[in-house]
């Protein structure tokens, strides 16, 4: 599959979820963040294990929303954000190595 298409779908998921909040500042902040991390998101989602984990996490969040399970959904979102943040340094290193291979 195309990593770029998968990354677009991933970004759409996050933006759609954030728009549900109707919080203009949060939406604007995420739009800014997304525009800065698109390259890294594509690199991250090249990994089949990372894609699988992301799909599972997103599916669990959607299921919580459908059940109207606010506490469960909030917990899943917090876990998803924490795991993604922890993983971001590794992804950034891989991305920078591609941009500047002579320094890798």
Is 90's pLDDT higher than 70? yes
Cα Rg of the chain, angstroms: 15
Q: How many CB atoms lie within 10 A of CB 45?
A: 21
pLDDT in tens, 41-77: 988 898 889 899 999 999 999 999 999 999 999 999 9
The Cα 18–Cα 25 span in angstroms is 10
Rounded to whole angstroms, the maximal C-alpha distance in the chain is 50
> What is the dihedral sign for C-alpha 98, 100, 102, 104?
negative
Residue ranges in 21-100 assigned as alpha helix (H): 24-44, 48-67, 70-99
Q: What is the pLDDT of residue 28?
A: 98
């Amino acid at each position: 599959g195309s990593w770029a298409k998968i990354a677009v779908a991933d970004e759409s998921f996050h933006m759609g979820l954030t728009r549900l909040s109707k919080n203009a500042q949060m939406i604007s902040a995420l739009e800014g963040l997304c525009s800065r991390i698109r390259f890294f998101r594509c690199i991250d989602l090249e990994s089949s294990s990372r894609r699988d984990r992301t799909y599972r996490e997103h599916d669990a969040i959607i299921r919580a929303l459908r059940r109207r399970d606010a506490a469960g959904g909030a917990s899943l979102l917090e876990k998803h954000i924490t795991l993604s943040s922890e993983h971001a340094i590794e992804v950034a290193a891989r991305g920078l190595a591609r941009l500047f291979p002579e320094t890798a």
